[in-house]
Amino acid sequence: MHYYSLNKQAPNVSFREATIKGQAPDKGLYFPATIPTIDPLVIRNSNDYTKEELAMLVMQPYVGDTIDEKSLFRIVSETIGFDFPLVTINEQISSLELFHGPTLAFKDVGARFMSRCLGYFSQQQKGKVTVLVATSGDTGGAVANGFLGVEGVEVVILYPSGKVSPVQELQLTTCGQNIKALEVSGSFDDCQAMVKDAFMDADLNKALQLTSANSINVARWLPQQLYYFFAWQQWPDKARPPVIAVPSGNFGNICAGLLAHVSGLPVQHFIAACNVNDAVPEYLRTGSYAAKTAVPTISNAMDVGSPSNFIRVMELFGNQYETIKEKISGYTVTDELTRQTIADVYQQEGYILDPHGAVAYYALADYFSQHPEQKGFILETAHPVKFPDTVEAMIGKQLEVPAAAQHLFALEKKSVSMKASFAALKEWLLHA
- CB atoms < 10 A from the CB of 127, how many? 9
Nearest to 131 by CA among 64, 208, 239, 78: 208
Q: Is 386 a catalytic residue?
A: no
Catalytic residue among 21, 51, 107, 163: 107
d(Cα 338, Cα 274) in Å, to the nearest integer? 11
314-323's contacts with Cβ under 8 Å and 24+ in sequence apart are 315/6, 315/31, 316/35, 316/255, 316/258, 316/259, 316/262, 321/287
- Phi, psi (rounded to 5 degrees) for 63: -85, -35
Helices (H), 273-415: 279-286, 310-316, 321-327, 335-349, 355-370, 388-395, 403-406
Contact 135, 143 (CB under 8 A): yes
Q: HSE, CB side, 13 Å, CA atoms: give it for residue 346.
A: 21
Spell out where 98-239 has E strands. Answer: 129-134, 153-160, 179-185, 209-212
- Phi, psi (rounded to 5 degrees) for 346: -65, -45
Q: What is the dihedral of CA 248, 250, 256, 262, to 10 degrees?
A: 80
Full strand arrangement of the beta sheet holding 416-419: 209-212, 129-134, 153-160, 179-185, 416-419
Q: Find all residues with CB under 8 Å of 171, minimum gap 6, and list them.
A: 103, 140, 141, 144, 145, 405, 408
Contact 315, 369 (CB under 8 A): no
Nearest to 61 by CA among 72, 51, 45: 72
Nearest to 335 by CA among 297, 387, 304: 297
3-state SS, residue 302? helix
d(Cα 249, Cα 310) in Å, to the nearest integer? 10
Give the active site residues. 107
